[in-house]
Amino acid sequence: MTVQDVGLLPLLAGLCPMHAVLDAQGHLVQAGPTFAKLFGAHPLRGVRFLDLIELRRPHQAADMAGLLACAGARLRLRLRAAPQTALKGVLLAMPGGGAVVNLSFGISVVEAVRDFGLTGADFAATDLTTEMLYLIEAKSAAMEASRKLNLRLQGARIAAEEQAFSDVLTGLRNRRALDHVLDRLMQSEQDFALLHLDLDFFKQVNDTLGHAAGDHVLQEVARRLQAEVRADDLIARVGGDEFVILLLGMTEAAPVAA
């Protein structure tokens, strides 16, 4: 009984979906469903196997005799057409000069699944590739979940740091932020100037108009100060009605006073 017998061809398709049955001249008699899927709608029956697949190891082959010389050996092959997917395989000679080649993707299976739209149904039920794909998918899902968690944690940390260094009422930097910046500037020996400001009669505003009015005054002062300084300068609210302006790169009294 040969592989061309009617009863064996369907069995091969189910057990080895990446198989190829070759006649004595090296032309395709039958292609497994997954093997055929690599070539889209192109009809494969009668096509020369070596026109589709390049044998790379254990040696190159130009004809069926060269293929049969590799019978039983571990084959390294690849598709001739892009994306030139790498394949593994084994060839068994059949009576009458034909052969059966059983192929697999090996480590290139992830790329093959992506490039050819393969699913679990394209692999034999006993093929461990399916389990490997599940593990890869689970790993990818875990890594994506970890990435999202890290982004949320990073966002929470940035928000916490921002809150720790900001004055809630005015949105300016607070005393803690000012101390941090001053320490950094002194360590790097950068030039800077400081202006210390407070508001006259602020207590009277709170006493006569209420704290809501006082808060509005502080917010308006903060807005006006921000409009007057450079982008690299820093304004901090360091007390109830006290502000400090840090002017980077300025040491001359006249420009600072202006």
Mean pLDDT of 218-236: 91
User: Mind listing the pLDDT tens digit for each residue in 109-131?
Assistant: 878 888 888 877 788 877 777 67
Domain end residue (candidates: 145, 164, 183): 164
Residue 22 belongs to a domain: yes
pLDDT > 80? residue 136: no
Residue 156 belongs to a domain: yes
Residue 3 belongs to a domain: no
User: Mind listing the pLDDT tens digit for each residue in 160-211?
Assistant: 676 778 888 998 989 988 888 888 888 888 888 888 999 998 999 988 999 9
User: Mind listing the pLDDT tens digit for each residue in 75-110?
Assistant: 999 999 889 889 999 999 988 788 999 998 877 787
Residues in the chain: 258
Distances (CA, A) of 174 to 78, 163, 215, 235, 246: 65, 10, 16, 8, 12
Domain span at residue 137?
A: 128-164
Are 229 and 145 within one domain?
no
Distance between CA atoms of 43 and 246, rounded to whole angstroms? 77
Distance between CA atoms of 74 and 225, rounded to whole angstroms? 77
Mean per-residue pLDDT over the chain, rounded: 84
pLDDT > 60? residue 148: yes
CATH number at residue 73: 3.30.450.260
User: Mind listing the pLDDT tens digit for each residue in 3-18?
Assistant: 455 456 677 777 888 8
Cα 58 to chain centroid, rounded: 36
Are 160 and 170 within one domain?
no
Q: Residue 6's pLDDT is what?
A: 43
Are 118 and 136 within one domain?
no
Which of 1-15, 52-66, 149-163 shows the lowest per-residue confidence on average (mean pLDDT)?
1-15
The Cβ-side half-sphere exposure at 78, using a 13 Å CA radius, reads 13
Are 26 and 48 within one domain?
yes
SS3 for 171? Answer: coil
State the greatest distance between any 2 C-alpha atoms of the chain, in Å, as a whole number. 111
Domain end residue (candidates: 114, 140, 164): 164
CATH number at residue 251: 3.30.70.270
Residue 1 belongs to a domain: no
